[in-house]
């Protein structure tokens, strides 16, 4: 029996059929195919669910509208896999994205969460640059300063299922008014093995920056996100908790360090 880790890719989606079509096509072109693609239909009315099924993805429904409820439902559906990877409908992963994720987790048994940056598309070069370096890059920098770990970027990350098991009842998963990826980051600890790979980059739509008001709403959501988990998001609370927190059991997982682990399963 193969010991190569099994990967499920979770994609929350609400009325994003056009973007989802391109995302699923990019996943179909991966050099290492995921073992499952789980699309969480968040009460769409545009045929997103039918499109996902036609592409061979598994579809589950989350009636509570919001990115956190939809993402959490998807992670729960993927708990039987070794690695839970996450994309958004407007993500367009490079052909080696799944392969790089698998190789990273196999090479480092202590790695619990792997995240990367963004390459924005659909606007001007200036907007793309500001999005990647100011919005995502700036958020990554300041979150690391405050929490001691990098920001998990919701459109481009993967985590061991064991990490999700630890935090799934601690995150504010039914709250649609907060940043799901920041809330997840707040509940993670250095012992979870969180790593940012600057070379693991994800093409994503620049539509969040289409209007200043839309960007401002995203920035403003940082405050209620921290408020929802206070005091867990404070450095002093985290430092005290970390002193007694056991590391996640990733080091006990024995995956082979030889062979073509990046290849599609069964090849």
Low-confidence ranges of the chain (pLDDT < 70): 1-3, 123, 127-131, 133-136, 138-139, 209-220, 242-267
CA-closest candidate to residue 264, choices 19, 45, 30, 15:
30
| Whether CATH 3.90.550.10 fits 7-247 | yes
Strand partners, 113: 159, 194
- Specify the pLDDT at position 221: 75
- Specify the pLDDT at position 267: 35
- Specify the pLDDT at position 31: 97
- Specify the pLDDT at position 213: 62
Domain ranges of the chain: 7-247
Kindly state the tokens that stand for 243.
């002193």
- Specify the pLDDT at position 157: 98
What is the C-alpha separation between 173 and 69, in angstroms, rounded? 5
Q: For 219-230, write each residue's pLDDT tens digit.
A: 667 788 888 888
Pairing of strands 83-86, 194-205: unpaired
Helix/strand/coil (H/E/C) assignment for every residue in the chain: CCCCCCEEEEEEECCCHHHHHHHHHHHHCCCCCCCEEEEEECCCCCCHHHHHHHCCCEEEECCCCCHHHHHHHHHHHCCCCCEEEECCCCCCCCCCHHHHHHHHHHHCCCCCEEEEEEEEECCCHHHHHHHHHHHHHHHHHHHHHHHCCCCCCCCCEEEEHHHHHHHCCCCCCCCCCCCHHHHHHHHCCHHHCEEEEEEEEEEEECHHHCCHHHHHHHHHCHHHHHHHHCCCCCHHHHHHHHCCCCCCHHHHCCCCCCCCCCCCCCC
What is the C-alpha separation between 202 and 115, in angstroms, rounded? 10
pTM comes to 0.84
């Amino acid at each position: 029996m193969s010991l190569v880790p099994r990967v499920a890719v979770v994609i929350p989606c609400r009325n994003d059929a056009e973007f989802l079509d391109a995302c699923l096509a990019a996943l179909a072109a991966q050099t290492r195919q995921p073992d499952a693609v789980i699309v969480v239909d968040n009460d769409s009315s545009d045929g997103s669910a039918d499109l996902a099924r036609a592409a061979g993805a598994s579809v589950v429904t989350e009636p509570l509208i919001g990115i956190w409820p939809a993402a959490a439902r998807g992670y729960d559906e993927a708990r039987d896999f070794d690695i839970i990877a996450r994309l958004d409908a407007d993500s367009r992963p490079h052909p080696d994205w799944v392969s790089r994720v698998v190789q990273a987790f196999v090479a480092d048994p202590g790695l619990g969460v792997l995240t990367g940056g963004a390459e924005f598309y659909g606007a001007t070069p200036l907007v793309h640059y500001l999005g990647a370096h100011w919005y995502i890059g700036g958020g990554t920098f300041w979150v690391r300063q405050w929490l001691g770990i990098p920001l998990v970027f919701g459109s481009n990350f993967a985590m061991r299922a064991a990490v999700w098991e630890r935090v799934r009842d601690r995150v504010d998963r039914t709250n649609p008014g907060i940043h799901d990826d920041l809330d997840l980051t707040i509940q993670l600890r250095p012992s979870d093995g969180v790593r940012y790979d600057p070379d693991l980059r994800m093409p994503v739509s620049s539509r969040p920056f289409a209007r200043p008001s839309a960007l401002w709403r995203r920035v403003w959501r940082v405050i209620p996100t921290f408020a929802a988990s206070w005091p867990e998001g404070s450095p002093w609370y985290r430092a005290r908790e970390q002193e007694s927190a056991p590391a996640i059991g990733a080091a006990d997982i024995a995956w082979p360090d030889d062979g073509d682990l990046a290849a599609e399963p069964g090849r």
